[in-house]
């Protein structure tokens, strides 16, 4: 299959005789989404609601806004997962509609951040500050990759953010696992970290201990 | 069940040896005498760590028993085939192999009323028998049966005294004072119970175990002999023991030994109930329930099965205790909705105040303990067959049925309403034929293998002087509806592709199905692309509802006297071997593939997440399938370690129960499950594993990654 020619029409999935191709995702309006969400309403009780993730939800800003407004109108709690690398105007515009942010924090050192993600962490930190000042409730989600960011400096950085920013209610460390290789293969992408092993429970314990030295904010493995 | 395999050998040997001697006696007396002889010869053992005397026929089996030849040819000549001929028996077996229809009385799956035994003693039953005997006509059937009942009680008493004598023998030889005291306690207790009432928890639990031994021996069947509401009828005895100075630790240790014995002699469906409601609506989870749970958490064996009864009044902290990886890893507990179960019992026409005293028995049945002869596997019904007859002009897809049907076939099949109507007619006619067969097998069984002991312990049988097959206040046969969901899915697809879109004709569909869809990939793809039950699709769920409603009405219409036919979704794991033998079905299920399990979806879909499945399931009036309605849920063990997630699972269960769900069966995903999923991915399409904060379908993982996950899981389990 030549992925470079793919226009995501999904016609190939209909004709594949063995059903080996699957279109993941479909076109839906905000109303469609909310209708689907409401089917599970009996299970939400008081606390349940909708979590929007991606990709990056803010890259579909109008769609995201529409869903959040409909959710609000239906008294559904809302949660958005974001990398934080988005327009500040936009993220602030939707903050009043978002009950909880799951906000990624990958690396403290700006040069390392640029090296491993391709972008600086300035905008991300600025957005984090901005939404916190606007009264957002935030869970800081920190992927920890052995050999890359499992360093005292980064853990100190996590602790500092948590201590200084009102609104961060919890830190979740996300241990690296290599199972994303399956997903990459499925969508025809190259996976460059094949040599990196998944983190173990022992690694996780050590990381929690390290971060705990810098902050008392509730902390767990995600 | 290694012990019971050895026991069958013992049983064979004794039968070979004694049949000629006992043969001149009327059959009930012959069976009682055989029972007594088996109990006399059965090796019994007390192990150094035992509190309760309970090991029998196990490692101490003598050589002569294990070399006993198969008794079937020798004793076959003694079996009376007047109620059921040999020809009929082989016809019935062929019917099951060819068409998936089985109607055959199956013993086991018993739950007696231990509460009466420990408070009144077997002596109470004995005096009632003697009273009836005094008035019974000499030589009458009643008199014969009563004499057989007496023999079986005498045999039970002799057995208990053997246990007592063994304990005494060992006590006399004991050199350690603590051992001697322990053995003397066993000696005293077994002199007393189960013939006389128990005084404390220790004596009560010994009585229960002894009778729990006698029950399957009398029935020659060990399947799912349940103990019932242990935390209720043992509670007064628990209080007495605590008042006498024993501790929860002592009680827990007695229970742990019982669990070990249950695990050796039973299967994974010996149910102990926890909690529930009193008839006047009070929560019944008590201190003994807590100790039983503690014993389970330390034992972690396959048996017993904990059947936890959840009501609106069950405190949150109790429900949370049940959501524990140490329980889930053994497929425990089975969660029951108390209110819906009570409604199911009432739907059987049992008055509310009596229905409220129901017991959960085996892996999914609701019974009146000590009052019911329950034929739990009495009918297996291939739900696809009536559909074949409906759309194929009154003929099955393959071959010819061995009986004539009166239902007139449809001349033209043009819409789904006609299909449902005709389907119902065929279902009813075939079920009635099956139940006539079932009645014959019951007569055959009751005539050749009456069970005087169990009849003593079933209400009303002493007064009637007859076998519990006829004398029990309730006689139930469960109608297991295999492939109901597969069939409904076929109807949903048919409605869309044939009746609405006219893409295919029924003849084309039947032809493709007969040929296992070889050369018919197009139609197979289209069928599989249609809506399915378990995804909260109204279109698909409606067809399940219609079949469900028809089945429960037919079964209820067939009630007579004390006989009840109870429809059920229950399959256990038999959906796999059943599917292995079953031909291709019209929902696109290929030949040899498992049919849908329990009340859940077919294996070919993956969008049946727990909430969608629950919402689909809850559209049915589940209490009307009074034979049982489990759905199966799998949980990654890591989820169960997190307090917040456990609370969410509790909410999930409560919501399903609020919506009318009856039963939830749980499993946690361990390395064994993952290995099975690796070997047979088609059976585990819905398996979701949690890695870090991320969940994905196991089948979507690369093989190398699957193996890595299996390795990691084994490492975490400590097996690697």
Q: What is the mean pLDDT of residues B283-297?
A: 98
pLDDT of residue B599: 93
Widest CA span in chain A:
57
Q: In the prediction, which pLDDT does B608 show?
A: 59
Q: Is the model's pLDDT at B690 over the cut of 90?
A: no
Residue A103 and residue A205: Cα distance in Å, rounded?
22
Q: Please check whether residue B718 touches A, CB under 8 A.
A: no
Choose among B642, B693, B708: nearest Cβ to A174: B693
Quote ipTM for the complex. Answer: 0.86
Contact between B688 and B698 under an 8 Å Cβ cutoff? The reply is: yes
Q: How distant is the Cα of B613 from the closest Cα of chain A, in angstroms? A: 11
Two tokens, residue B493:
């697809």
CA A157 – CA A159 distance, rounded (Å): 5
Whole-Å CA distances, A186 to A1, A175, A182, B699: 12, 22, 6, 12
* Closest alpha carbon to A80 in A163, A40, A17, A139: A139
Report the length, in residues, of chain B. Answer: 720
pLDDT for position B63: 61
| Of B75, B4, B26, B99, nearest in space to B401 by CA | B99
| 3-class secondary structure, B645 | helix
- pLDDT tens digit sequence for B89-113: 999 999 999 999 999 998 888 999 9
Q: Mean pLDDT over all residues of chain B?
A: 91
- Which site among B692, B696, B699, B711 would you substitute to test the A interface, given the most A Cβ atoms closer than 10 Å to its Cβ? B692
CB B696 within 8 A of CB B374: no
Kindly tell me if the per-residue pLDDT of B2 is higher than 50: no
Between the alpha carbon of residue B710 and those of residues A182, B447, B689, B706, the distances in Å are 15, 53, 11, 6
Pair of tokens at residue B419: 């299909």
Local confidence band at B634 (pLDDT 50, 70, 90 cut-offs): confident
Residue range A17-29: mean pLDDT, rounded = 82
Tell me what pLDDT residue B330 has: 84
In chain A, what residues touch B708 (CB-CB under 8 Å)?
A: 178, 198
Pick the range with the lowest mean pLDDT from A77-91, B139-153, B262-276.
Answer: B262-276
DSSP secondary structure, B532-600, as one string: -TTS--HHHHHHHHHHHHHHHHHHHHT-BTTEEEEEE---TTTHHHHHHHSPP-TTSPPTT-----TTS
Spell out which residues of chain B touch residue A198, defining contact as CB-CB under 8 Å.
691, 708, 712
Question: A75-84, pLDDT tens digit by residue?
Answer: 999 999 999 9
d(CA A101, CA B94): 63
Half-sphere exposure of B269 (CA within 13 A, CB side): 18
List residues in chain A touching B: CB distance below 8 A. 17, 19, 39-40, 42-43, 45, 141, 172, 174-179, 181-183, 185-186, 198-201, 220-222
Q: Place B1 in a pLDDT band, splitting at 50, 70 and 90.
A: very low
Output the six-digit token pair for B89. Answer: 């028996």
Q: Which of B490, B587, B596, B577 is nearest to B534 (CA)?
A: B596
Q: Mean pLDDT lowest for which of B125-139, B381-395, B497-511, B635-649?
A: B635-649
Average pLDDT, chain A: 91
pLDDT of residue A118: 93
Minimal CA separation from A52 to chain B, in Å? 14
HSE-CB of B142 using CA atoms within 13 angstroms: 17
B543-570 pLDDT per residue, tens: 999 999 999 999 999 999 999 999 999 9
* Helices B141-173 and B177-192, axial angle in degrees (round to 10): 170
Q: What is the mean pLDDT of residues B453-461?
A: 97
pTM for this predicted structure:
0.92
- Say yes or no to pLDDT of B59 above 70: no
Helical residues (DSSP H) of B193-286, grouped into ranges: 201-219, 230-233, 235-243, 248-265
Bigger pLDDT: B121 or B9?
Answer: B121
Find the mean pLDDT for residues B138-152: 97
d(CA B602, CA B592): 14
Residue of B710 and A96 predicted with greater confidence: A96
Backbone angles phi, psi at B622, to 5 degrees: -55, -30
Size (chain A), residues: 222
Q: Is the pLDDT of residue A94 over 50?
A: yes
B277 near B356, Cβ under 8 Å?
yes
Segments in chain A forming alpha helices (H): 11-15, 30-39, 41-44, 61-73, 88-94, 110-117, 122-133, 152-164, 180-186, 201-212
Question: Do residues B438 and B528 lie in contact, with contact meaning Cβ atoms separated by under 8 Å?
Answer: no
Query: CB B700 to CB A185 under 8 A?
Result: no
pLDDT at B258 over 60: yes
What is the pLDDT, as a whole number, of residue A71? 97
Which of B562, B551, B559 is closest to B622 using CA atoms? B551
Least confident of A75-89, A119-133, B453-467, B683-697: B683-697
What ranges make up the beta strands (E) of B569-693?
A: 630-636, 663-669, 688-691
Per-window interface: B 572-631 vs A, CB < 8 A: 611-612, 614-615
Q: Quick one: pLDDT at residue A22?
A: 79
The stretch A107-136 carries a mean pLDDT of: 95
């Amino acid at each position: 299959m030549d992925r470079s020619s793919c226009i995501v029409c999904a016609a190939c999935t209909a004709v594949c005789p063995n059903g080996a191709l699957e279109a993941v995702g479909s076109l839906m309006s905000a109303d469609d989404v909310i209708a689907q969400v409401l089917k599970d309403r009996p299970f939400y009780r008081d606390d349940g609601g909708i979590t929007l993730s991606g990709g990056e939800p803010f890259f579909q800003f109008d769609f995201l806004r529409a869903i959040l407004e409909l959710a609000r109108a239906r008294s559904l709690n809302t949660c958005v997962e974001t990398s934080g690398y988005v327009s500040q105007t936009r993220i602030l515009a939707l903050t009043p509609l978002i009950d909880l942010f799951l906000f990624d924090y990958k690396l403290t050192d700006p040069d390392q951040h640029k090296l491993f993600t391709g972008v600086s962490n300035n905008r991300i930190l600025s957005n984090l500050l901005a939404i916190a000042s606007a009264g957002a409730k935030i869970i800081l989600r920190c992927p920890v990759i052995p050999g890359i960011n499992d360093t005292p400096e980064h853990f100190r950085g996590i602790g500092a953010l948590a201590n200084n920013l009102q609104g961060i209610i919890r830190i979740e460390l996300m241990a690296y696992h290599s199972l994303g290789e399956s997903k990459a293969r499925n969508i025809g992408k190259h996976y460059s970290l094949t040599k990196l092993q998944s983190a173990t429970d022992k690694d996780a314990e050590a990381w929690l201990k390290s971060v705990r030295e810098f902050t008392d904010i509730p902390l767990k493995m995600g | 069940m290694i012990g019971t395999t050895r026991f069958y050998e013992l049983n064979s040997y004794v039968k070979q040896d004694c049949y000629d001697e006992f043969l001149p006696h009327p059959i009930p007396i012959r069976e009682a005498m055989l029972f007594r002889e088996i109990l006399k010869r059965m090796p019994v053992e007390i192990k150094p760590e035992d509190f309760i005397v309970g090991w029998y026929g196990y490692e101490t089996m003598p050589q002569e028993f294990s070399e006993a030849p198969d008794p079937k040819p020798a004793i076959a000549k003694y079996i009376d085939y007047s109620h059921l001929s040999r020809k009929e028996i082989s016809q019935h077996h062929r019917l099951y192999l060819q068409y998936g229809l089985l109607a055959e009385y199956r013993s086991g799956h018993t739950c007696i009323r231990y509460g009466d035994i420990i408070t009144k003693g077997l002596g109470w039953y004995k005096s009632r028998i003697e009273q009836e005997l005094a008035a019974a006509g000499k030589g009458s059937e009643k008199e014969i049966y009563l004499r057989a009942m007496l023999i079986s009680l005498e045999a039970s008493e002799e057995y208990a005294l053997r246990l007592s004598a063994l304990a005494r023998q060992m006590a006399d030889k004991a050199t350690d004072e603590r051992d001697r005291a322990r053995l003397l306690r066993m000696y005293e207790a077994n002199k007393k119970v189960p013939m006389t009432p128990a005084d404390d928890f220790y004596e009560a639990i010994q009585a229960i175990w002894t009778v729990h031994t006698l029950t399957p021996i009398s029935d020659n069947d060990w399947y799912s002999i349940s103990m019932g509401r242990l935390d209720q009828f043992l509670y007064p005895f628990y209080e007495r023991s605590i008042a006498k100075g024993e501790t929860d630790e002592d009680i827990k240790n007695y229970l742990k030994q019982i669990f070990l014995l249950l695990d050796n002699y039973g299967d994974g469906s010996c149910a102990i109930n926890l909690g529930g409601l009193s008839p006047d609506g009070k929560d019944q989870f008590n201190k003994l329930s807590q100790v039983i749970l503690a014993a389970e958490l330390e034992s972690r064996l396959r048996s017993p099965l904990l059947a936890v009864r959840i009501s609106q009044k069950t405190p949150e902290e109790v429900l949370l205790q049940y959501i524990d990886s140490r329980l889930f890893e053994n497929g425990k507990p089975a969660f029951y909705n108390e209110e819906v179960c009570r409604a199911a019992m009432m739907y059987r026409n049992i008055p509310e105040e009596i229905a409220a005293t129901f017991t959960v028995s085996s892996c999914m049945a609701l019974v009146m303990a000590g009052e019911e002869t329950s034929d739990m596997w009495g009918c297996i019904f291939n739900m696809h067959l009536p559909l074949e007859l409906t759309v194929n002009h009154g003929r099955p897809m393959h071959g010819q049925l061995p009986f004539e049907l009166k239902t007139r076939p449809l001349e033209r099949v043009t819409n789904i309403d006609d299909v449902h109507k005709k389907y119902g007619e065929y279902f009813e006619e075939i079920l009635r034929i099956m139940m006539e067969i079932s009645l014959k097998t019951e007569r055959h069984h009751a005539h050749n293998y009456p069970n005087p002991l169990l009849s003593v312990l079933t209400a009303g049988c002493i007064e009637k002087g007859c076998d519990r097959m006829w004398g029990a206040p309730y006689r139930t046969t469960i109608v297991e509806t295999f492939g109901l969901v597969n069939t409904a899915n076929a109807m949903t697809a048919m409605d869309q592709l044939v009746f609405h879109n006219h893409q295919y004709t029924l003849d084309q569909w039947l032809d493709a199905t007969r040929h296992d869809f070889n050369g018919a990939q197009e139609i197979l793809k289209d069928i599989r692309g249609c809506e399915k039950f378990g995804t909260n699709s109204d279109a698909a769920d409606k067809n399940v509802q219609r079949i469900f409603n028809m089945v429960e009405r037919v079964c209820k219409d067939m009630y007579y006297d004390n006989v009840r036919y109870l429809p059920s979704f229950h399959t256990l794991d038999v959906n796999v071997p059943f599917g292995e033998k079953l031909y291709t079905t019209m929902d696109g299920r290929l030949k040899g593939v498992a049919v849908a399990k329990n009340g859940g979806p077919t294996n070919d879909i993956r969008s049946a997440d727990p909430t969608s499945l629950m919402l689909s399931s809850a559209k049915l009036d589940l209490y009307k399938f009074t034979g049982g309605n489990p759905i199966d849920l799998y949980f990654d063990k890591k989820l169960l370690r997190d307090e917040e997630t456990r609370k969410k699972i509790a909410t999930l269960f409560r919501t399903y129960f609020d919506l009318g769900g009856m039963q939830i069966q749980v499993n946690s995903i361990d390395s064994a499950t993952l290995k099975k999923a690796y070997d047979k991915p088609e059976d585990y399409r819905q398996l979701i594993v949690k890695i870090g904060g991320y969940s994905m379908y196991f089948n979507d993982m690369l093989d190398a990654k699957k193996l890595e996950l299996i390795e990691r899981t084994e490492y975490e389990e400590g097996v690697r």
